[in-house]
Amino acid sequence: QGCTQKYIVKNYFYYYLFKFSAALGEEIFYITFLPFTYWNIDHSVSRRMIIVWSIVMYIGQVSKDILKWPRPLSPPVVKLEKRTNAEYGMPSTHAMAATAISFSFFTATINQYKYPFELGLAAAFVFSTLVCLSRLYTGMHTVLDVIGGALISAVLLVLLYPAWDTIDHLLLTSPFCPLFSIVVPLVLCYNYPKLDYYSPTRGDTTTILGAAAGATVGFWLNNQYAASVYAGKSVQPGLPVITSTMVFVLGRFSVGILVVLLTRWVMKSAVLGVLGYRYKFPIGDLAARRRLEVEVPYKFVTYSSVGFTATVIVPLLHRLLGLM
């Protein structure tokens, strides 16, 4: 498991295609893509995707550590990634996330925007298929892992779809939403299944639930106290893209990502500093940062701040800068 296999790339098209496709299934992509949809496309679409993403990913991550199915053996398989090698394999959360995000985006937009049904369905299928195939190409999952992940995600989508509007309404209007959105994810993170060795699954799950919690509180706050910042300004698929629209889209995205990354850096440094002082460890001590009492609060507070900033602070800044 610890040895590094050498390999020769014979087809650079497949190599870069599937390396790029694998990146589309990473948490960092969704934490970038989901705010983009909120800033530039549609609030309701973004809210629904975040709900689905957080639920699907939590179930997928927990399932891995309950089932404890190993990843493909290496050798003979050549693994092109190392970070996730410590995780178990079944189900593939890349496959789950890609299926959930692509098809939830499709189902949330097909009735709101004018574009061919076949085109939207094909785009969702291609996106999810590329991510699924990338997990096989990089040697990180078996075929069964990928099929299992995609099927679990599909079942969850079918079960969640009838409740989308109800859940969305409650998250926007219930006075208990902020408390529920923070307490429930925290309880789930602190009671994550324990393993005999360290795995990044708990940290990744905390990152996802934290980002979703912060965004959900932001959704509620915006609905209670602020008008829709982007009303009438969203980009409509199928319409000719004009230069001025692209300038606003790129401006909103650039400003938003800069603020989000700055928030992440500031909060990570601040929270780790406080926890380091509390538990007497240097910030650079990786082993200490992996302890439950450190990892969960540091990642949850950091990424809930990111989610809140993306949905509340960034839109206000867009308004001040005239980027609406």
Q: Which residues are catalytic?
A: 94, 141
138 token code pair: 């990089």
Beta-carbon neighbour count of residue 222 at 10 Å?
Answer: 18
* SS3 state of residue 6: coil
Task: Let me know: does 28 contact 172? Beta carbons within 8 Å.
Answer: no
In angstroms, the Cα distances linking 175 to 82, 103, 179, 221, 313 are: 44, 30, 8, 10, 21
Helix axes 292-308, 177-190, angle to 10 degrees: 150
Which residues fall within 8 angstroms of residue 285, CB to CB, at 6 or more apart? 276
- Residue 1 one-letter amino acid: Q
CA 102/CA 94 separation, integer angstroms:
12
Which contiguous run of DSSP H or E holds residue 36? helix 27-40
Task: Let me know: does 159 contact 166? Beta carbons within 8 Å.
Answer: no
